[in-house]
Amino acid sequence: MKPSDLLSSLLPPAARPGDLLSAVDSPALLLDLDAFERNVRQMQAAADSAGLALRPHAKAHKCVAIAQAQMRAGAVGICCQKVSEAIPFVAAGIPDILVSNELIGEAKARLLAALAGHARMSVCVDHEQQVEQLAQACEQAGSRLELLVEINIGQDRCGVADAPAVLRLVEVIAQYAGQLRFKGLQAYQGGLQHVRGAEVRREAVLRATERARLVVRDLLDEGIACETVTGGGTGSAAFDLGLGLYTELQPGSYVFMDADYGRNETADDGLRFEHSLLLASRVMSEGTGDRAVLDAGLKSLSAESGMPWVWEAGSPSERWDYVSANDEHGILQCRTPGGAKPRLGEQVLLVPGHCDPTLNLHDAIVAHRAGRVEAVWAIEARGLSR
């Protein structure tokens, strides 16, 4: 027997359609379909009523079935953060993908140019060397790309500083008119997405996007119109909608809402998303004193944005905390000394601290409704980080 046959014969999927949720093998990612569908609809409706395009970020889910649900709801396309991440989505027929990031090197340019032979592809640039490599790759592949110049609006990650720098790149792009087209700007500020206070976050969004507004104005003065201005995330979306700056929003985490986003305050006029993503774990050892040991640690959930929440009856547990993550173990602690612990073998549900890197740890997500498994979706772009 080949090792791969042994794996599939001895290790079935964590769940099958029709299974009871309580019987799902652990650790396994769960998706509450009702909450997920409400999240998808709410963000789409908000973008629609503001007259903006929605291009959800697939870096959060890496899952074709989820991207297809977003497209059915009205998304214009999706974002990917890495060029290889886009491959399964292109293969599945998603027609329009923005790689919302810079890429450098001939291998990546060749890959993107090849993908552009199958779907409408766009990508960010902040240096002429990237533009030249992309043009060369497109010429060889016989394909075309649309470019967004990224501007730095305060995250100090990628992006050029000002309108003159954008103009210089627009001129370089214009030299390759057979291969490349200037589509507009990307202005994303990740640092403010998790500012906890709603009004402090609103102010931070206004300040950061003012820089983008000035660049758009200066470009217009030079006769350059931006067909697209894209940006925004789950934390800023409610405020981005009405700015009159963006033509397109690219939030990702709203489909799931991790514990980090759960700590954000929602503005009175804000968007209220639900926690649809859970990790099913199990008590694997009784542990000592007020502690119990779960079978889910750092190889099943990401904890760099904080520990997961223990989830009971649709809310954060008032009895137990997940206090530390080892590689394969998680430590659960009773809040009150001597309090009841979950039993050995009992399922314990967790809201992951940070959704994107958590999805990257799993092959599949178990989609459920009313206590039953409805589908098991592959996470096709898991591990595709080139």
Q: What are phi and psi of 89, to 5 degrees?
A: -75, -40
Contacts of 307-312 with C-beta under 8 Å, sequence gap 24+, read 307/259, 307/353, 308/259, 308/279, 308/350, 308/351, 308/352, 308/353, 309/259, 309/262, 309/350, 309/351, 310/348, 310/349, 310/350, 311/275, 311/278, 311/349, 311/350, 311/351, 312/349
**In the set 26, 130, 152, 234, which binds ligand PLP (CB under 6 A)?**
234
Of 244-252, 296-304, 314-322, 368-376, the segment contacting ligand PLP by CB under 6 A is 244-252
Nearer of residues 179 and 253 to ligand PLP, judged by Cβ: 253
Considering only residues 43-82, where is the footprint of ligand PLP by CB under 6 A? 57, 60
**In the set 130, 133, 253, 302, which binds ligand PLP (CB under 6 A)?**
253
> Structure tokens of 301?
């959930």
Nearer of residues 94 and 257 to Mn ion, judged by Cβ: 257
CB of 257 to Mn ion, least distance (A): 11
Residue with tokens 């886009």: 86
Q: Does 342 bind ligand PLP (CB under 6 A)?
A: no
Of 185-193, 219-227, 296-304, 325-333, the segment contacting ligand PLP by CB under 6 A is 185-193
Q: Does 250 bind ligand PLP (CB under 6 A)?
A: yes
Q: Which one of ligand PLP, Mn ion, none interacts with residue 190, CB within 5 to 8 A by kind?
A: ligand PLP
C-alpha 40: how far from chain center: 13
Cβ contact 150:102 at 8 Å: yes
Cβ contact 385:80 at 8 Å: no
Site size with ligand PLP, rule: CB under 6 A: 14
Q: Does 246 bind ligand PLP (CB under 6 A)?
A: no
Q: What is the dihedral of CA 314, 315, 319, 325, to 10 degrees?
A: 100
Q: How far is CA 161 from CA 99, 121, 149, 193, 216, in A?
A: 20, 25, 11, 21, 13
Q: Does 152 bind ligand PLP (CB under 6 A)?
A: no
Of 114-122, 172-180, 186-194, 371-379, the segment contacting ligand PLP by CB under 6 A is 186-194
Q: State the binding string over 337-366 for Mn ion (x if CB under 5 A, else -).
A: -------------------x----------
CB of 344 to ligand PLP, least distance (A): 36
* Cis peptide leading into residue 27 (ω within 30°): yes
> Structure tokens of 352?
């992951």
Distance CA 256, CA 302 (A): 14
Other CB atoms closer than 10 Å to residue 223's CB: what's the count? 7
Nearer of residues 27 and 233 to ligand PLP, judged by Cβ: 233
Q: Does 188 bind ligand PLP (CB under 6 A)?
A: yes
Nearer of residues 261 and 320 to ligand PLP, judged by Cβ: 261
C-alpha 192: how far from chain center: 16
CB of 223 to ligand PLP, least distance (A): 28
**In the set 178, 190, 197, 314, which binds ligand PLP (CB under 6 A)?**
190
State the residues that interact with Mn ion by CB under 5 A: 356
Which residues contact ligand PLP by CB under 6 A? Answer: 57, 60, 100, 188, 190, 193, 233-235, 250-254
